[in-house]
């Protein structure tokens, strides 16, 4: 294996596109180095993106936030403006692993690792986040829900890099939240994860996005679940419809963490809790 | 695989070593820099025995490559005591019997030090969450938590 640590996105893309063998991008390494250790694979070239200045920044822009691909979970949690605007995105990312992992792990790494149980991804999808993808001759902007195509696989070409994630500007009276179910209190992988982002007008939900994790091969955006609460004040009837829509969208596996039946049921239960938190954060009562 | 020359700072000293690009920083620290206080538990980032700080951030050195240390600033358990004078955390771990086999201890001490630098007066719950990335199979954690609380108190006193 060779190791390179370029200082610009352009150089990183050039290294990837020139490579004849296998290449892999190294961000926080909290998934990648485990795979290396377990001898699951070893690329011919590893491209470390942490020395690229643009990838280490959290920028507040006219259109919202731009978060570099190498920004760690810990750094997200320290950014007060981001925590205020997108508490759900930050709390979801901060749930990944221990403090040791938080110092390294990144949202983009979590996304590109393409686990169905990734914690930050439902929150990003609910938020309407976009990935800025840089390739050899072009840049493109891709909705986060279109990046992952299946467990461990993405729609990115081998020479493409996600440079940053953008989060849209927040209208007033907006809130987001993420919760996951795990049998322990910490340090675990989601059995079910639910993220909801919504915007209110006079206490009525005007816009909403609902995303479910760990209940299907990829993380789901569930427009039907959003429609169940749009136009409501999140009354009991709306919450029940939200829960049913979430459970109906589930297509999970049976494994040691949870059965199909259990995951399907819990998705609805969690969705109700998460919707209440997002609603309260948006200033609803 | 050809080795790469890495220049880094460890516990205040400039250190150079050559390592293959796929070697973990944990192995570089132990086998090339001779810092065997850094322990390997799981090697996959779950147990925290290999905890160090990298540019002030608490990390598992098993999840960092040796080559990534180029130009960085590292501290390990070896940099914790001031010569013969133990750090208050080390003293209180001994006083409270917060270790038995000792493999997890360097990682706990490094992680607890980072916690107390950020939060000089943590609650029990804050200590337990902050140390959730460090596993101990001997003590049952209570003695570790008590040692951290006692050290925090000592450190607050000495600051006054």
Note whether B19 and B42 are same-domain residues.
Answer: yes
CATH assignment at residue B67? 3.10.20.30
- Evaluate if residue B1 carries a pLDDT over 80: no
Q: How confident is the model at residue B77 (pLDDT cuts 50, 70, 90)?
A: very high
Q: At which of B41, B57, B79 does a domain end?
A: B79
A188 interface with B at CB cutoff 8 Å: no
- Judge if A203 and A269 occupy the same domain: yes
Interface test with A, best of B7, B50, B52, B60 (most A CBs within 10 A): B60
Residues contacting A140, CB < 8 A, separation 6+: A133
Q: Is B65 helix (H, G, I), strand (E, B) or coil?
A: strand
B4 touches chain A (CB under 8 A): yes
Two tokens, residue A108: 């983009």
Residue A142 inside a domain? The answer is: yes
Q: Domains in chain B: how many in total?
A: 2
How many independent structural domains does chain A possess? 2
CATH number at residue A203: 3.30.390.50
Q: Do residues A256 and A222 share a domain?
A: yes
Q: Are residues B57 and B111 in the same domain?
A: no
Tell whether A43 is covered by a domain: no
Nearest to A36 among B22, B46, B70 (CB): B22
pLDDT digits (tens, 9 = 90+) for A204-213: 999 999 999 9
Q: Which of B50, B79, B108 is the last residue of a domain?
A: B79
Shared domain for A152 and A245, answered yes or no, is no
Of B22, B59, B129, the CB nearest to A100: B59
Tell me: pLDDT of B160 over 80.
no
Domain extent at residue B108:
88-159
Read off the pLDDT band of A185 (50, 70, 90). Answer: confident
Q: Which residues of A touch B46 (CB under 8 A)?
A: 187
Q: Are A220 and A124 spatial neighbours (Cβ–Cβ below 8 Å)?
A: no
Pair B71, B112 in one domain: no
In this prediction, residues A271-283 reach a mean pLDDT of 98
Provide the percentage of residues in chain A whose pLDDT is more than 70. Answer: 100
- Host domain of residue A66: 51-168
For residue A98, give the nearest of B43, B68, B132 by CB distance: B132
Give per-residue pLDDT as tens, A17-27: 999 999 999 99
What integer pLDDT is reported at residue A264 of this predicted model? 98
- Segment A58-95, tens digit of pLDDT: 999 999 999 999 999 999 999 999 999 999 999 999 99
Domain end (from B79, B100, B129): B79
Q: Are residues A197 and A141 in the same domain?
A: no
Residue of B nearest to A5 (CA): B68
Residue A40 has a pLDDT of 85
Size of interface A-B (CB pairs under 8 A): 84
């Amino acid at each position: 294996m060779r190791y390179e640590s370029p200082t610009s996105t352009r150089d990183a893309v050039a290294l990837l596109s020139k490579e004849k063998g296998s290449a892999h991008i190294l961000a926080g390494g909290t998934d990648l180095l485990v795979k290396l250790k377990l001898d699951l694979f070893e690329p011919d070239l590893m491209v470390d993106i942490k020395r690229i200045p643009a990838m280490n920044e959290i920028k507040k822009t006219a259109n919202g936030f731009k978060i570099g691909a190498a920004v760690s979970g810990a750094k997200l949690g320290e950014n007060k403006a981001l925590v205020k605007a997108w508490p759900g995105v930050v709390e979801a990312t901060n749930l990944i692993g221990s403090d040791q992992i938080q110092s390294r792990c990144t949202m983009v790494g979590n996304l590109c690792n393409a686990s169905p149980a990734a914690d930050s991804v439902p929150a990003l999808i609910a938020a309407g986040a976009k990935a800025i993808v840089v390739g050899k001759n072009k840049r493109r902007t891709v909705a986060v829900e279109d990046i992952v195509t299946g467990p461990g696989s993405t729609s990115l070409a081998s020479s493409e890099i996600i440079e940053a994630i953008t989060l849209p500007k927040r209208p007033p009276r907006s809130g987001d939240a993420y919760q996951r179910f795990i049998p322990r209190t910490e340090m675990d992988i989601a059995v079910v994860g639910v993220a909801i982002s919504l915007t209110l007008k006079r206490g009525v939900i005007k816009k909403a996005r609902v995303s479910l994790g760990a209940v299907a091969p990829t993380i789901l955006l569930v427009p039907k679940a959003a429609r169940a609460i749009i136009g409501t004040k999140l009354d009991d009837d709306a919450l029940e419809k939200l829960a049913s829509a979430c459970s109906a969208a589930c297509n999970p596996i049976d494994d040691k963490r949870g059965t199909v039946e259990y995951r399907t049921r819990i998705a609805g239960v969690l969705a109700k809790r998460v919707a209440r938190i997002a609603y309260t954060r948006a200033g609803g009562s | 695989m050809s080795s790469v020359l890495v220049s880094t700072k460890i516990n205040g000293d400039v250190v150079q070593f050559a390592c293959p690009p796929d070697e973990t920083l944990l192995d570089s620290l132990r086998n090339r820099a001779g810092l065997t206080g850094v322990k390997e538990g799981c090697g996959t980032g779950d147990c925290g025995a290999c905890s160090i700080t990298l540019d002030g951030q608490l990390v598992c050195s098993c999840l960092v490559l040796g080559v990534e240390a180029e130009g960085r600033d590292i501290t390990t358990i070896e940099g914790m005591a001031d010569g013969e004078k133990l750090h208050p955390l080390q003293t209180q771990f001994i006083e409270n019997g917060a270790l038995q086999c000792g493999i997890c201890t360097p990682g706990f001490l490094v992680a607890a030090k980072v916690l107390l630098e950020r939060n000089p007066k943590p609650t029990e719950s804050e200590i337990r969450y902050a140390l959730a990335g460090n596993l101990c199979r001997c003590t049952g954690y209570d003695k570790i938590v008590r040692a951290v609380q006692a050290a925090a108190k000592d450190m607050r006193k000495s600051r006054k």
